Structure 1
Amino acid sequence: MFQQIYDPVNGSLFASALFAMLPLLSMFVMLGWLKISPHVSAAVSLVICILVAAFVYHMPMGVAFNVGAYGAVFSVLTVLWIIVNAIWLYNLTVKSGHFAVLRDSFALISDDPRIQAILIAFSFGALIEALAGAGTPVAIAGAMLVAIGLHPLKAAVIALVADTAPVAFGALSVPITTLAQVTGIPFEELGHHVGHQTPVIAAFVPLVLVWIMDGKRGLRQTWVAAVTAGLAFGIAQWASASFFSVVLADVVGALASAAAMVVLLKFWQPEKLPADAFQNEVTKTAGQVAITHSRKQLMLAYAPYALIIAIFTIVQFGFVQKWLNLGTFKFAWPGLAISAQDGKAVGTMFTLNTLSAAGSLLLVAGVITAMMLRVSAAQAAETYGKTLVQMRWAVPTVLCVMALAFVMNYSGQTGTLGRWLAGTGSAFAFLSPVIGWIGVAVTGSDNSANALFGALQVAAAHETGLSPALLAAANASGGVLGKMISPQSLAVGAAAVGIIGQEGLIFRKVVGWSLILLLAMAVLVYLQSTPVLSWML
């Protein structure tokens, strides 16, 4: 039995926190400053994490390796299985030629590439996040932006920044479900609180996207559309989480955003861009689309995504879940017996949900899509193999990052960092979103960050006299802003747009936006903990 100690360095929480920071700091320095590739950065950081666990936190080396293996295996079904099958489904649409039709369909709404970027990365990306999560919208939106002619680097940056506000409710609100499980706070209450935080940031994200794409000119010419898309999404997400459905908050927000844009563009159009505005980055025009594609082709192009919505909706029915649960197996991870500093056992149960996993559902959607789009079995299998090759560097990155997260959590390093930050008292409300941000930056998953830090946020709330529901929600809301800088997301984004090896450059382009939006969220949560904005909750 290994027992966690949160202040192993001479009983000092601060000194212990300095060591606990080393794996995270090393990863950020290697990615952002030394420009080392994500898979190497993640692997080196994992080694550092294991050494800290063994020599500072006194976790036996064998246990540390076992915990790392637990995290890596955990990531296969919860992360990699989703990403691989989502990108395979996307590659099938490319193979059949229907992705080009889908791409062109956005030009039917507007021939302005800045408007198309909002529709693709923000509105459509939010819908994909609502259904699948785990980096899927970054992969699909990034590839679509490149397909409409954007420079790959710019496409990756826009896709990553856009995948923020929907993340907390992603994959049909799985992160909120996890947060409820680890904190004991009712699911609806947590969803209500998150729904009063992330929509505020969402309202400004389209403005950021336009700035990234076209600077001051873009803001001046398209701010009406950006504000419309952001407000429609934010208001709809807020309303759904508060009064209708936490599970469908992103779906409602995404559809409302797209609908508002379509209506707006019937009465308003942005100022025409010069022909060489993006130096031939964008080559498609609405006129070409109208001539080239029939209504049937457009319907087939959207069919795979409608299919995903249908499948993920059907599995919410109780009798379907009961059938899918026949493929779920739970068992304690072999060789692990860990307790917290207070002596309570730390859970090490492993859930193998072969049928109900999001990745399995996406695989089913991919098989049906192949048949719908008349892709032969041989072509589908060949495309799957090419997808695995495409993801060859993303896979080790994800495995190492999740192994690192588990070693940090089970050795006590995560607990040290959280308790040290909780020492700030009432100011912890400001730092609470930062903890979630750190969790997602490391794991690439708001769900994982909630699992890592959710209970810690509640413990800190009790110690500081703050609202447990507010701080737990802040973990999820702050975490979404770390998504764009996580090695997992960077690897997926780079692979999707065809610039593998330039993840460090993407990191440097998005980290500033991540910090600016995080600051805004931290201020919002702090004010919500005071009479100034407590009425929002």
Structure 2
Amino acid sequence: MTFTQNFTAVGDSLALTAIVALIPILYFFWALAIKKMKGYIAGLTTLLVALVLAVVAFKVPIGTAFMSGTQGAVYGLLPIGWIIIASVFLYNLTVKTGQFNIIRHSVLTITEDRRIQALLVAFSFGAFLEGAAGFGAPVAISAALLVGLGFNPLYAAGLCLIANTAPVAFGAIGVPITAMEGPTGIAATEISKMVGRQLPFLSVFIPFFLIVIMAGFKKAFEVMPAILVSGVSFAVTQFLTSNYLGPELPDILSALVSLFALAIFMKFWKPKNIYRFPAEQEIAATAAVKLTTKHETFTGGQIFKAWSPFIILTGFISLWGTPVIKQALTGHYEGANAILKAVNSIGHALTFMPEVPFLHNKVLDGSTGAPIAAVYKLELLGAAGTAILLAAIVTKFIFKVSWSTWATTFIDTIKEIKFPLITICAVVAYAYVANVAGMTTTLGMVLAKTGALFPFFSPVLGWLGVFITGSDTSANVLFAKLQQVTATSVGMDPVLALAANSSGGVTGKMISPQSIAVACAAVGLAGKESELLRFTLKYSVFLLLILCVITLLQGTVLTWMIP
């Protein structure tokens, strides 16, 4: 039995169908922001609402709807949930062994100012991890680091989500951009150039925006030199790499340039006043005093050892993100290199792609009539979480941790984040149900009917897609063709529309239920997802509006910016 997606399923009206498709989204916002439900309860009930609407309003067969939810839940567990487990586990190992005290000390020797620490860790280091791994690892690791430094957990999670705006479009070695080339036929390098002429405006603004959120305008202007070094170095590198090297390296190179530029700058410049959060003034002052004692001085070797898990992590996830190695890890390598062929054999044995029962090729695309493939994608070796776990195994030997302690810490980590894992699986399952039923495409089609104003609303499609799916890559695959066709019909350059989809999507990342759950899991705020959503929602909408205006201007009066 097959099911054909119907984008006017309710009363043969696109508008009415879109209103019904909005119900799960509005319910989720209500459940978290107003009702203040725990994240996993909000996620599970949103999934239930979506399943009921899919069956009743969109006429999806019960078995098809249910199995689409299982496909999403499996993807929520692997690779996304696996990344969170491994990331938090690696962080917990550094805490358990006392090495994080040395990491904290090394950051404080650069600066004790919380504003600069946020720029170094949330903005620059987080962007590097986004470029190398993506899929939740940047927020999980950088937020955990900030909490370890003494940041309030809610602030740490919120700041890292907002900071993650700048690099998302080029995350995971440029996958969100390259993913659009297939369905549209437009070269990824051209889309990369256009995104690189939009996001740098946001990238140069984000560091200032972060500090304003943290400390207000007056305190932000006190560290304006550091903000400019951080933001301008990142934005300029992002523009140059995206326009002249392609979509693979903008995040990694921009983050490294920004990180080292700011660290070196802090050797020659200090803020007039050291900023700390009001609630931690006394604690921070005590820590500062301890730093001056001989017992709190550490050698370069000790500092390097303490940071080694994250250095090793960087190496592993960079390898895992390299296209040819990724092919070998997932059993798709066809070259002649003997080592990669051996890895390919292992990767092939550890990659499982079983078809989803009652779903695979049972759903026909509402636009083309083509059957949609559906498989459980289980890439055990190729998953980024496996790279992080290998870093944790190497760390065990560097820190000389016993296997029993290592295993106990791993089990404790799973217990610690079990509810956020349920949340992640539930919200990704909802995204898959919405996609199969045609809910997401229906909403996109409504936005596509804005005609001459489409350049303004084009980023909203990306924002909506990332909110629902939790992934800029998924949103780009979902809406790329729709953006291209609509742009052509209204006289807008398709390259601008595709770039707007990706750029707009980055502003939706901070409110995506999946991202909220990841951030809460990383900082020990399970059950507090509603507070984090309320913290980030207004900033998401504000940044989205900025990109809408930029896209409108580029589509009308600044057309010379389009490659």
TM-score (norm 1): 0.94
Q: Distance in 2 between matches of 1:305 and 1:536?
A: 38
Q: Is 2:89–2:413's contact at 8 Å kept on the other side of the alignment?
A: yes
The 3 A distance-change label for structure 1 pair 276 and 38 is closer
Shift of the alpha carbon at 1:396?
A: 1.2
Matches within 5 A, 1:60-71: 60-71=61-72
Q: In the alignment, which of 286, 293, 305 is matched to residue 300 of structure 1?
A: 305
Q: Distance in 1 between matches of 2:61 and 2:167?
A: 40
Q: Is 1:107–1:289's contact at 8 Å kept on the other side of the alignment?
A: no
Q: Is 1:457–1:468's contact at 8 Å kept on the other side of the alignment?
A: yes
| One-letter identity of the residue aligned with 1:299 | F
Query: Which residue in 2 is equivalent to 1:216?
Result: 217
Q: Is 1:229–1:261's contact at 8 Å kept on the other side of the alignment?
A: yes
Query: Which residue in 2 is equivalent to 1:332?
Result: 355
Shift of the alpha carbon at 1:436?
A: 1.4
Comparing 78-87 and 405-414, the one that deviates more: 78-87
Query: Which residue in 1 is equivalent to 2:10?
Result: 9
Matches within 5 A, 1:410-449: 410-449=436-475
Q: Distance in 2 between matches of 1:148 and 1:268?
A: 22
Shift of the alpha carbon at 1:328?
A: 3.2
Q: Is 2:428–2:514's contact at 8 Å kept on the other side of the alignment?
A: no
| One-letter identity of the residue aligned with 2:324 | G
Query: Which residue in 1 is equivalent to 2:549?
Result: 523
Query: Which residue in 1 is equivalent to 2:338?
Result: none
Shift of the alpha carbon at 1:281?
A: 6.0
Query: Which residue in 1 is equivalent to 2:324?
Result: 318
Q: Distance in 1 between matches of 2:14 and 2:33?
A: 28
Q: Distance in 1 between matches of 2:236 and 2:191?
A: 18
Q: In the alignment, which of 459, 479, 487 is matched to residue 453 of structure 1?
A: 479
The 3 A distance-change label for structure 1 pair 420 and 290 is farther
Query: Which residue in 2 is equivalent to 1:235?
Result: 236
Q: Distance in 2 between matches of 1:241 and 1:288?
A: 46
The 3 A distance-change label for structure 1 pair 29 and 206 is same
Segments of structure 1 that go 5 or more residues without pairing to the other structure are none
Percent sequence identity is 38
Which digits, 9 at most, give the CA deviation of each residue in 1:428-448, with x for residues without a partner?
221121121122223322222
| One-letter identity of the residue aligned with 1:318 | V
Q: Is 1:30–1:41's contact at 8 Å kept on the other side of the alignment?
A: yes
| One-letter identity of the residue aligned with 2:351 | T
Q: In the alignment, which of 522, 532, 538 is matched to residue 512 of structure 1?
A: 538
| RMSD (Å), alpha carbons | 2.2
Asked if 1:401 corresponds to 2:450, the answer is: no
Asked if 1:501 corresponds to 2:503, the answer is: no
The 3 A distance-change label for structure 1 pair 317 and 468 is closer
Shift of the alpha carbon at 1:67?
A: 1.0
Q: Is 1:46–1:400's contact at 8 Å kept on the other side of the alignment?
A: yes
Q: Distance in 1 between matches of 2:7 and 2:363?
A: 14
Q: In the alignment, which of 400, 406, 429 is matched to residue 374 of structure 1?
A: 400
Q: Distance in 2 between matches of 1:356 and 1:274?
A: 42
Q: Distance in 2 between matches of 1:398 and 1:231?
A: 35
TM-score (norm 2): 0.90
Aligned residues: 537
| One-letter identity of the residue aligned with 1:279 | Q
Comparing 391-400 and 273-282, the one that deviates more: 273-282
Q: Distance in 1 between matches of 2:183 and 2:402?
A: 45
Q: Distance in 2 between matches of 1:166 and 1:185?
A: 22
Shift of the alpha carbon at 1:476?
A: 1.7
Query: Which residue in 2 is equivalent to 1:97?
Result: 98
Which digits, 9 at most, give the CA deviation of each residue in 1:484-517, with x for residues without a partner?
1122222222232233222211211211111111
The 3 A distance-change label for structure 1 pair 498 and 281 is farther
Q: Is 1:527–1:534's contact at 8 Å kept on the other side of the alignment?
A: no
Query: Which residue in 1 is equivalent to 2:284?
Result: 282
Shift of the alpha carbon at 1:265?
A: 2.0
Q: What SS does the corresponding residue of 1:242 show, helix, strand or coil?
A: helix
Q: Is 1:131–1:308's contact at 8 Å kept on the other side of the alignment?
A: no
Q: Is 1:108–1:289's contact at 8 Å kept on the other side of the alignment?
A: no
Query: Which residue in 1 is equivalent to 2:340?
Result: none
Q: Distance in 2 between matches of 1:11 and 1:182?
A: 28
The 3 A distance-change label for structure 1 pair 319 and 440 is closer
Q: Distance in 2 between matches of 1:185 and 1:349?
A: 27
Q: Distance in 1 between matches of 2:275 and 2:257?
A: 31
Q: What SS does the corresponding residue of 1:267 show, helix, strand or coil?
A: coil
Shift of the alpha carbon at 1:399?
A: 0.9
The 3 A distance-change label for structure 1 pair 458 and 349 is farther
Asked if 1:83 corresponds to 2:105, the answer is: no
Q: What SS does the corresponding residue of 1:21 show, helix, strand or coil?
A: helix
Query: Which residue in 2 is equivalent to 1:257?
Result: 258
Q: Is 1:194–1:473's contact at 8 Å kept on the other side of the alignment?
A: yes
Which digits, 9 at most, give the CA deviation of each residue in 1:303-344, with x for residues without a partner?
222222322343427367333452434443222211122322
Q: What SS does the corresponding residue of 1:233 show, helix, strand or coil?
A: helix
Q: What SS does the corresponding residue of 1:293 show, helix, strand or coil?
A: coil
Comparing 444-453 and 14-23, the one that deviates more: 444-453
Query: Which residue in 1 is equivalent to 2:371?
Result: 345
Q: Is 1:236–1:256's contact at 8 Å kept on the other side of the alignment?
A: yes
The 3 A distance-change label for structure 1 pair 262 and 500 is same
Q: Is 2:496–2:562's contact at 8 Å kept on the other side of the alignment?
A: no
The 3 A distance-change label for structure 1 pair 363 and 66 is same
Query: Which residue in 1 is equivalent to 2:336?
Result: none
Q: Distance in 2 between matches of 1:245 and 1:92?
A: 37
The 3 A distance-change label for structure 1 pair 424 and 381 is same
Q: Distance in 1 between matches of 2:424 and 2:512?
A: 10
The 3 A distance-change label for structure 1 pair 458 and 244 is same
Query: Which residue in 2 is equivalent to 1:146?
Result: 147
Q: Distance in 2 between matches of 1:289 and 1:105?
A: 14
Shift of the alpha carbon at 1:529?
A: 1.7
Comparing 277-286 and 24-33, the one that deviates more: 277-286
Query: Which residue in 2 is equivalent to 1:51?
Result: 52
The 3 A distance-change label for structure 1 pair 430 and 343 is same
The 3 A distance-change label for structure 1 pair 275 and 495 is closer
Q: What SS does the corresponding residue of 2:378 show, helix, strand or coil?
A: strand
Which digits, 9 at most, give the CA deviation of each residue in 1:273-324, with x for residues without a partner?
3788553363533646994221111111222222223223434273673334
Q: Distance in 1 between matches of 2:497 and 2:276?
A: 49
Shift of the alpha carbon at 1:27?
A: 0.6
